[in-house]
Amino acid sequence: MDLKNRLKQIKIENYIYIIYIGIIILSFYANKLEKEYLIYKNEQAKQKYRNILITIFVIAILVYIYYTLDSYQGIKEPSENPEIQKFNNLSFLASSLVLISCLIFLYIAYNDKDINVELAFS
């Protein structure tokens, strides 16, 4: 990867870290709402909690689509160094698995109407 593309990639990653901060803040708020629902059976808090979880996982999916596509570029442009190629392959595999886990979490958040399953973005 040339220097110009790598610097562009770092700039994008910095924006993604800001998005992560937003996800963390949303997660704190979601936990507050979940607690409010569990203690006081506040149905509005439960629905807000579910909506926030869905939002968090949609954002996470978008982020990991970016990372998966970026990792795929490393596979499409093979390196002459076998170790770097191995790392590119592993990076693609890891990004793909995280993307799949986010999709599963989104499915659970959307379909678990009674919030029986604890979900956490990590």
pLDDT digits (tens, 9 = 90+) for 92-105: 999 999 999 999 99
23 in Cβ contact with 121 (< 8 Å): yes
Does residue 13 have a pLDDT over 90?
A: yes
26 in Cβ contact with 90 (< 8 Å): no
Does residue 86 have a pLDDT over 90?
A: yes
Neighbouring C-alpha atoms within 13 Å toward the C-beta of 10: 7
pLDDT digits (tens, 9 = 90+) for 30-83: 999 999 999 999 999 999 999 999 999 999 999 999 999 999 998 998 889 999
What are the φ and ψ backbone dihedral angles of 42, each rounded to 5 degrees?
Answer: -75, 110
Measure the CA–CA gap between 51 and 37, rounded to whole angstroms: 14
pTM of the model: 0.90
Angle at CA of residue 112, ends 32 and 28, nearest 5°: 20
Query: DSSP letters of 90-106?
Result: HHHHHHHHHHHHHHHHH
Does residue 122 have a pLDDT over 60?
A: no
SS3 at position 1: coil
Question: How much is the pLDDT for 1?
Answer: 66
